[in-house]
Amino acid sequence: MKEYLLQLAEAKAKELQGGINEIKGILNKPPASLASYVDYVAKVEECNGRKEALEKMKKHQLEDMKTALSKYKSKEEGYGNVNTTSLQSKIESLTAELQEVAQIILTSKSNITEERESNVEDLQKKVLEEQEKVQGLIEKVSTSETLIRADTPAKEALDEATKIKKKFDESVKRLSQFKGYL
């Protein structure tokens, strides 16, 4: 039973280490664009929740297993102490890494706050540019010779209207994305 508990504790320690490494990998990729900034903000929050879950796993599972292992009496008394000592050192190492992850998350949140203002300014510029494009497309509909002339072939007018609609739809899509960034 003691061997099984030790193997289970080792597996939990590996799982915990994997989760820590995953969080570090995600947070070590800072955003390069406005779209990636929005994703990064969501990932930081997700990583914070994941870190809390890993801390609970460490406390409620790994440390409880270590406590249970230390209560077992073994025929080979030294063997049991070596295993619990090894497990204790892993727990301490994982605790230090979780503290490091907590610091990385705090730093990431701080960077997000600092970058938010410049990203909002960039977003406002892009929104104004798209609004100007939409206004230009609306004007083009009312001033396009191809669309206004009575003698324009229907296919030609329809092709022109389709091109304008496609550009309009693209602008509306970008504006919808920008709305999601706010």
For 26-55, write each residue's pLDDT tens digit: 888 888 777 777 788 888 999 999 999 988
Q: Lowest-confidence range among 92-96, 114-118, 163-167, 178-182?
A: 178-182
Three-class secondary structure of residue 150 per DSSP: coil
Amino acid letter, 4:
Y
Residue 18 has a pLDDT of 92
pLDDT in tens, 50-84: 999 988 888 888 888 888 777 765 545 554 566 67
- Tell me how far apart the alpha carbons of residues 129 and 132 are, in angstroms, rounded to a whole number: 5
Per domain, the residue ranges of the chain are: 2-181
pLDDT at 87: 79
Whether the per-residue pLDDT at 95 is higher than 70: the answer is: yes
Distance between CA atoms of 45 and 137, rounded to whole angstroms?
39
Residue-wise pLDDT for 116-140, tens only, equals 777 778 888 888 888 898 888 888 8
* Residue given tokens 């610091």 in the structure block: 103
Q: What separation in angstroms does the CA of 17 have from each of 57, 75, 93, 108, 160? A: 11, 31, 10, 21, 59
Work out the mean pLDDT of the chain and round it to a whole number. Answer: 82
Spatial distance between the Cα atoms of 9 and 87, rounded to a whole number of angstroms: 8
Residue 171 near residue 133 (C-beta atoms within 8 A):
yes
Rounded to an integer, the average pLDDT of 140-163 is 84
Classify residue 33 as left (phi > 0), alpha (psi -120 to 50) or beta.
beta
pLDDT of residue 182: 57
The whole-angstrom separation of Cα 6 and Cα 25 is 29
Rounded to 10°, the helix 63-71/2-27 angle is 160
**Confidence tier at 104 by pLDDT (50, 70, 90):** very high
Question: CA nearest 126: which of 74, 177, 52, 61?
Answer: 177
**CA-to-CA distance for 108 and 113, rounded, in angstroms?**
9
Residue 46: the pLDDT is 92
Do 90 and 66 form a contact (C-beta atoms < 8 A)?
Answer: no
Question: Could you tell me if 66 and 84 are in contact, meaning their C-beta atoms sit under 8 angstroms apart?
Answer: yes
